[in-house]
Amino acid sequence: MPPVSKIISIQDVDDKVNLLVYGDSGVGKTRLAGSDDKVLFVAPEDNSDGLLSAVLAGSTADKWPIKKWDDLAEAFNYLYHLDEIPYNWVVIDSLTEMQMMAMRGILDSAIQENPARDPDIPQLQDWQKYYEMVKRMIKAFNALDVNVLYTALARVAEDQDGIEYLLPDLQGKKDNYAKQVSSWMTSFGYMSVKRKKIDGEENAKPTFVDERRITWRDTGLVKGKDRTGALAPYTIVEGRNPLKDIRLAIEAKKNGVTAPAKRPRKASARTTSDEKVEAHA
């Protein structure tokens, strides 16, 4: 019997996306993550402050509480076995915390096998298991038939010339692991907030606003990419439902529709050098 063809059209390939948004604590990542219809947070119990900001912003998201690594595996298995996942987004908030839980789980298991071990200091053999556990879990969530949004803290790294840049705060050899995880995402970007001056009438008292944006491309200072073609160079995070706006922009791009661009508020020419970098990101 001749072999059966498994050829399919690329138009039939699943069109769900995996996004990673990284930034400093308090910049608004969790609030962003809760700003669409039908969102499920897979989040640690100690993330109550971040989730509160989402609630106060009007989020109607659900939450699967995570206290340890096994809870994360349980959440994945539940979603995997559903005939249809009833959410627009599953949010892993955050990857930084997810890594910490993985190592805690490894150390707890090691102590059960050898009570004489230090409960807080990983040994050499623990690290490889740790990296593989996190890698396998991220790829498992990425393969689910649902959009997945990951959040992470940001950290400063240096290239071989000593030039600093920002990337997701994921533990690994130098910045290789963070770059590898980022490469598994459809798009990833850096979320920041800048104080912007709004031009008004001459001699009027200056007005300032906080402008949040996600930079989805590599600027040198910021690491990012956008495979959707709908988000780069940046997204201005404003309005009541910015994550919904992101989803609709991606869906419009897939359907060949050009979504209207959101223009940033006009700012004063008096900006810092960092603001200039962000303004052109």
How confident is the model at residue 268, as a pLDDT?
Answer: 36
- CA gyration radius, the chain: 21
Tens digit of each residue's pLDDT (9 = 90 or more) over 50-78: 676 777 677 889 999 999 999 999 999 99
Averaged pLDDT for residues 178-192: 95
Per-residue confidence band for 247, with pLDDT thresholds at 50, 70 and 90:
very high
Q: What is the pTM of this model?
A: 0.82
Q: What angle do CA 251, 213, 243 make, to 5 degrees?
A: 35
Least confident of 105-119, 175-189, 256-270: 256-270
Least confident of 10-19, 183-192, 222-231: 10-19
Averaged pLDDT for residues 86-96: 94
> Around Cβ 101, how many Cβ atoms within 10 Å?
20
Find the DSSP H helices in 57-194. Answer: 69-80, 95-113, 124-142, 176-183
Q: Phi/psi of residue 148, each to 5°?
A: -120, 130
What CA dihedral angle connects 171, 62, 251 and 182, to 10 degrees?
0
How confident is the model at residue 263, as a pLDDT?
Answer: 47
Averaged pLDDT for residues 141-165: 94
How confident is the model at residue 94, as a pLDDT?
Answer: 87
Round the average pLDDT of the chain to a whole number and report it. Answer: 85
Residue pair 226/56 in contact (Cβ under 8 Å)? The answer is no
Per-residue confidence band for 276, with pLDDT thresholds at 50, 70 and 90:
very low
Averaged pLDDT for residues 5-34: 83
128 pLDDT exceeds 80?
A: yes
Q: To the nearest whole percent, how much of the chain has pLDDT over 90?
A: 61
Per-residue confidence band for 200, with pLDDT thresholds at 50, 70 and 90:
low
The three-class DSSP label of residue 176 is helix
Averaged pLDDT for residues 208-228: 92
